[in-house]
Amino acid sequence: MTTFVADLEPRALWAHFDRILATPRPSKQEAAMRAYVREVAATRGLEVREDGAGNLVVAVPASAGREAAPIVVLQSHLDMVCEKNSGVEFDFERQAIVPRRDGDWLYATGTTLGSDNGIGVAAMLALIGAEEVEHGPLELLFTVEEEIGLNGAAALDPALVRGRTLLNLDTEEEGALYVGCAGGAGSELALPIDTMFGVEGRVTVAVRVAGLLGGHSGVDIHLQRGNALAILARLLHPLWKEFQFEVGSITGGNLTNAIPREAEAVIRLAVEDPGAFEKACRAALAEIRAELAAVDPGLEIAFAPAECGPEVWSDATAVRLLALLAALPHGVLRMSDEIPGLVETSTNFARVRSEPGVLQVSMSNRSSVDAALRAVQRRMAAFAELAGGEATQSEGYPGWKPDLASPLLAITRRVHERVLGSEPRVLAIHAGLECGVLGARLGGADMISIGPQIEHPHSPDERVGIESVGGFWRLLTATLTELARPA
């Protein structure tokens, strides 16, 4: 055991985490971790079940006298995000993570630590042979490829898991019980472009919107930051009637789970119009900048000479597609009725690409209510139809609707107050978690998600609070004991 964790409590949990740090585990390369799970299970002669995706379940017998208690499923994922600082030489497929300690924080040396979700995995392994913890029958579910799309959970063989009470150990916030998450599905709009030869002698200009903060299209969508594509369309659509500029292309956005920070249109103006057009754009932008001043103050616009091929959008195409882009929704569509401040349903106007004969528009839709998510997808299809195009819908992943009447939530809440001395925050997140996928695969389950304090996950600044791990362990074990008591 490394000196950084040798004196930490609970000792068994930290000993397993030390081994996990030494075990390479990028997504799709979890074989060594599966072998370690089997090794630990073999020390107690425990049954291990595996499905075709590589997910594992270790069946842990109940403590004496608690055999009749309902099966409780504990779940964590085996893979980690592999990120390192520039200039750091590190091979995540072969090298052990090198931990460092600074007071109450444990972190890595220029790389991600993997406490997401390594602490959860370590806690589950520590329960094997933890004679001091009274519990009913347990199923320890270890999933794979979470970090690249919840793939293991999505491919889970339901026959692998018999319990329907599930504790996910992948929350990164102490003092919080997570009870819901959003599902997600993309809509790809393919909109036909008819072209014509542009008028000779026109001035070609690139109009660029930039300077925005962007952010995650789930957890940041409620901040009402600017969307560069929506702003660009808002500027261009009303000005077309005045200037009747020719459109060469419109592009913007990158990842579908990111709010677009930049967008650009290449247009051709009559030789006498660039000055007046720029003045009109800047006047309209001043209004938008005032709207966003408190949340996204860096909005800016730039005009630069550009090049454009001989063919441009036809006037009819320009009218049709500029109207569509200006009408497409972006942002929060509905807030949760159960949890104050939680976004229930949203859409992100994520990306536009101009391709030969077609404008490709990507919308990223999220909701914790599956019916609402499907309704948003149908809405996007209707937009495409109105513009003479068609929409392709991704299958996506299901959400997890908060159930504030959950028996598991009530028990864990009471245990948190008794063991940790504080009332927990009951929260949900407008992003994807394995719980949503697992609930669908299992045909329903009573679920919550808990975990220690982990800051800056998915980055080399990742760190885990040592004291919070102790609190997480006490909450977990006391909850298992409470769940094993006769009703």
Give the CATH number of the domain where residue 340 resides: 3.30.70.360
Give the residue ranges of DSSP H helices in 185-314.
228-243, 274-292
Residues 218 and 359 in one domain: yes
Amino acid in position 236: L
How big, in percent rounded to 5, are the helix, strand and coil portions of the chain? Answer: 30, 30, 40
pLDDT digits (tens, 9 = 90+) for 233-286: 999 999 999 999 999 999 999 878 889 999 999 999 999 999 999 999 999 999
- Give the domain-ending residue among 393, 425, 451: 393
Assigned token pair, 441: 């695969």
Residues 30 and 106 in one domain: yes
Helix (H, G, I), strand (E, B) or coil at 384: helix
Q: How far from 395 is each of 365, 392, 451, CA to CA, in Å?
A: 11, 10, 29
Number of domains in the chain: 2
Residues 31 and 158 in one domain: yes
Residue 86 has pLDDT above 80, yes or no: no
Output the pLDDT for position 334.
97
Output the pLDDT for position 443.
95
Residues 138 and 268 in one domain: no
Can you tell me the distance from the alpha carbon of 438 to that of 142, in angstroms, rounded to the nearest whole number? 12
pLDDT digits (tens, 9 = 90+) for 90-132: 999 999 999 999 999 999 999 999 999 999 999 999 999 999 9
CB 203 within 8 A of CB 386: no
Which range marks the domain in which residue 415 is found? 11-182+400-484
Can you tell me the distance from the alpha carbon of 158 to that of 61, in angstroms, rounded to the nearest whole number? 20
Residues 254 and 307 in one domain: yes
Reported as a pLDDT band with limits 50, 70 and 90, residue 231 is very high
Residues 116 and 195 in one domain: no
Residues 168 and 35 in one domain: yes
Q: Cis ω on the peptide bond leading into residue 10 (within 30° of 0)? A: yes
pLDDT digits (tens, 9 = 90+) for 423-480: 999 999 898 889 999 999 999 999 999 999 999 888 888 999 999 999 999 999 999 9
Residue 161 has pLDDT above 70, yes or no: yes
Query: What amino acid positions are annotated as catalytic residues?
Result: 79, 146
Instruction: Give a yes or no: residue 211 inside a domain.
Output: yes
- What CATH number corresponds to the domain at position 23? 3.40.630.10
- Give the domain-ending residue among 372, 393, 414: 393
Amino acid in position 182: A
In terms of C-beta density within 10 A (0-12 exposed, 13-18 middle, 19 or more buried), how is residue 295 classed?
A: exposed
Instruction: Give a yes or no: residue 40 inside a domain.
Output: yes
Instruction: Give a yes or no: residue 6 inside a domain.
Output: no
pLDDT digits (tens, 9 = 90+) for 336-349: 988 889 999 999 99
Residues 58 and 93 in one domain: yes
Can you tell me the distance from the alpha carbon of 114 to that of 158, in angstroms, rounded to the nearest whole number? 27
- Give the domain-ending residue among 359, 393, 427: 393
CB 313 within 8 A of CB 240: no
Residues 208 and 307 in one domain: yes
CB 451 within 8 A of CB 173: yes
Per-residue DSSP letter, 9: S
Output the pLDDT for position 3.
64
Assigned token pair, 301: 């616009």
Q: How far from 145 is each of 26, 55, 61, 90, 152, CA to CA, in Å?
A: 8, 9, 27, 21, 5
397 DSSP β-pair partners: 184
Instruction: State the number of CA atoms in the 13 A half-sphere of 162 facing the CB.
Output: 9
Q: What percent of the chain lies above the pLDDT cut of 70?
A: 99
Residue 354 has pLDDT above 90, yes or no: yes
Instruction: Give a yes or no: residue 214 inside a domain.
Output: yes
State mean pLDDT over 355-360. Answer: 96
Q: Which residues make Cβ contacts (< 8 Å) with residue 171, sequence separation at least 6?
A: 177, 178, 449, 450, 451
Tell me which residue of 316, 311, 302, 221 sits closest to 259, measured CA to CA: 221
Instruction: Give a yes or no: residue 142 inside a domain.
Output: yes
Residues 40 and 175 in one domain: yes
Can you tell me the distance from the alpha carbon of 468 to that of 396, in angstroms, rounded to the nearest whole number? 34
What is the total residue count of the chain? 487
Q: How far from 346 is each of 220, 314, 335, 374, 439, CA to CA, in Å?
A: 11, 33, 9, 12, 21
Residues 338 and 239 in one domain: yes
Please state whether the predicted TM-score (pTM) of the whole model is above 0.75.
yes
Can you tell me the distance from the alpha carbon of 366 to that of 370, in angstroms, rounded to the nearest whole number? 9
Least confident stretch, 1-10, 263-272, 309-318: 1-10
Instruction: Give a yes or no: residue 1 inside a domain.
Output: no
Helix (H, G, I), strand (E, B) or coil at 300: strand
Torsion sign (Cα): 103, 105, 111, 115: positive
pLDDT digits (tens, 9 = 90+) for 167-206: 999 999 999 999 999 999 999 999 999 999 999 999 999 9
Reported as a pLDDT band with limits 50, 70 and 90, residue 360 is very high
167 DSSP β-pair partners: 74, 448
Instruction: Give a yes or no: residue 267 inside a domain.
Output: yes
DSSP assignments along 170-213, one per residue: ----TTEEEEEE-EEEEEEEEEE--EEEPPTTPEEEEEEEE---
User: For the stretch 126-142, what's the b/e string if a residue is b when 16 or more beta carbons lie within 10 angstroms of its beta carbon?
Assistant: bbbebeebbbbbbbbbb
Instruction: Give a yes or no: residue 4 inside a domain.
Output: no
Q: To the nearest whole number, what is the mean pLDDT of the chain?
A: 95
Residues 17 and 37 in one domain: yes
State mean pLDDT over 295-315. Answer: 96
